[in-house]
Structure 1
């Protein structure tokens, strides 16, 4: 059952007064999102109920990272209650309120101008979060962990998700074997590390014309190598890979990616099979069947 947003809305006082609230989804994680609109239909705010197991302390840490991006107009602002809290906990669940992100995601093959704009937006985020830390890339270790946990004899659930799981059990083993061999040399190799978005898919980047006007969903922010964001975003568009063009535009915009393009390509190439394996291990939810199927389709010749 979807949680009731109205007790949370009331916590924000005048900021939310007079707005109408309508549910707009929330993805596969168990989150739920509402859009707050003016009486004339203009969207103003996004209210998010985070998954029930998402710690409020983690959300507060994410807000601290996002606060470093207030100079970037395409990053939604996180709003506080009159008491100064950016995280509201109601019925044991963490909530937050942010400005509504305008624009629309690219649903087809992006133009060169949109690739350049997205790369520049990502470079600016990374520049604000840059550190001097080094260590093995967590993206590599996560992928190796998914491969190590792969179980081809796992129970298959019923329904459409079960159909996708059966296909994955047939399809994934050779891809995971290749991924293990390719990733292993990087398992102990130190690389530059800093906060990254980690889960930045094309649908999270909003455009108006060729300009980026919105960048949403910071829920997976964690320390990693910047190539994980480049691989996920530019390897996620349909059609021919935009990763090479994205990397060139990223560096032209001042982004630092010290490793060769081959490292980002490795993360892109192994990310699809490992993401599919992670969905299988997660066991759903049933609504994730299209996402798992889409990942498997990308592995088909």
Structure 2
């Protein structure tokens, strides 16, 4: 007898829950860039997020190191979800049906857009992020060779983004432009704007990145994909930081550039107000301020190109196309202002 997908999810979820727990599940997303499958699990005691990643793309050692970091942050009072342990093995990651799975409590709250943020919410957000960075700098993993060890060095984001720019060869750009002739009209228009902006600005931004490639910064575990939808509020207080699956060691500027760019775009007066709040707890050096700006500009340059790649690979579900186009329109607008 074939097991239904829902029964399969519940079978996995029960590995992390007390014996006899009654639960039900709903799939939230599947596929995407990482191939992850995310399922909401509901029980009488609360809600949980169950996440599975295909074995071929999973990096179990790195995931377990991230779990160790999240436990440390939670112990310091940060509003993060700590993965549950499998009742049988005690592990926070289990292999099942060609995927590796983890489950964590569902954090309370809702996200808030930049224009809707109250002064108290903005303060809570920037102070929470500063506390996270200060705690992360003190994090000492059990393994001395852990990828989550703090150190001083070149920002990995700089190296990674220069490599991504190199990967967009002239031939690849021409092929992308030709392929857009077959794209849906609404996607084709904005994607063409993104491509044109990349042609005009990639050399300048690559040079900005190159100038920082020899500068060393304090590096510690960072969220790296912390944008406005990943910060949850209950009232004026941050009650959840979610989706830490891109976390790795880098400079704090990676989180600040991602978050403030998603909230405020090119409104740099609001950037300054937010950074002033952050620096009440964690001052930034002049070089970190410079890095923050370059990471924002290079993020704008490359984010739209990432969506072009996803479209060509067929990994954008049809039901998400409207949201993708809206996001690309934001990137195109910011790119034109660089």
Match of 1:37 among 35, 39, 42: 42
TM-score by length of 1: 0.88
Supply the distance in 2 between the matched residues of 1:186 and 1:36 (Cα, whole angstroms): 44
CA offset digits 1:90-133 (Å, max 9, x no partner):
12211111011110001342333222211111112212211651
> Which residue does the alignment assign to 2:316?
286
Q: SS of the residue aligned with 1:142?
A: helix
Q: SS of the residue aligned with 1:22?
A: strand
Identify, as 1 or 2, the structure richer in helix: 2
Q: Does 1:62 align with 2:86?
A: no
For the aligned residue pairs, the C-alpha RMSD in angstroms reads 2.6
Match of 2:183 among 148, 159, 175: 159
> Which residue does the alignment assign to 2:129?
122
Identify which range, 211-220 or 55-64, moves more after superposition.
Answer: 55-64
CA offset digits 1:71-98 (Å, max 9, x no partner):
3251112110112010011122111110
Q: Does 1:140 align with 2:158?
A: yes
Match of 2:53 among 50, 53, 61: 50
CA gap of 1:251–1:45, structure 2 versus 1, over 3 A, is same
The list of structure 1 runs, each at least 4 consecutive aligned residues, that deviate by more than 6 angstroms after superposition, is none
Q: SS of the residue aligned with 1:235?
A: helix
> Which residue does the alignment assign to 1:276?
304
Q: SS of the residue aligned with 2:120?
A: helix
Kindly state the Cα deviation for residue 7 of structure 1 after the two structures are TM-superposed: 2.4
Larger Rg: 2
How many matched pairs?
Answer: 298
Give the 5 Å matches for 1:101-120.
101-109=107-115, 110-120=117-127
Is the CA contact 1:196–1:223 (under 8 Å) kept in the aligned structure 2?
Answer: yes
> Which residue does the alignment assign to 1:24?
28
Kindly state the Cα deviation for residue 178 of structure 1 after the two structures are TM-superposed: 2.2
> Which residue does the alignment assign to 2:332?
296
Q: Does 1:10 align with 2:36?
A: no
Supply the distance in 2 between the matched residues of 1:138 and 1:88 (Cα, whole angstroms): 29
Unaligned runs of 5+ in 2: 139-149
Q: SS of the residue aligned with 2:214?
A: coil
Q: SS of the residue aligned with 1:219?
A: coil
Kindly state the Cα deviation for residue 181 of structure 1 after the two structures are TM-superposed: 2.1
Match of 1:262 among 284, 290, 304: 290
Supply the distance in 2 between the matched residues of 1:238 and 1:27 (Cα, whole angstroms): 29
Supply the distance in 2 between the matched residues of 1:200 and 1:299 (Cα, whole angstroms): 20
Supply the distance in 1 between the matched residues of 2:304 and 2:54 (Cα, whole angstroms): 21
Q: SS of the residue aligned with 1:184?
A: helix
Identify which range, 231-240 or 202-211, moves more after superposition.
Answer: 231-240
> Which residue does the alignment assign to 2:143?
none
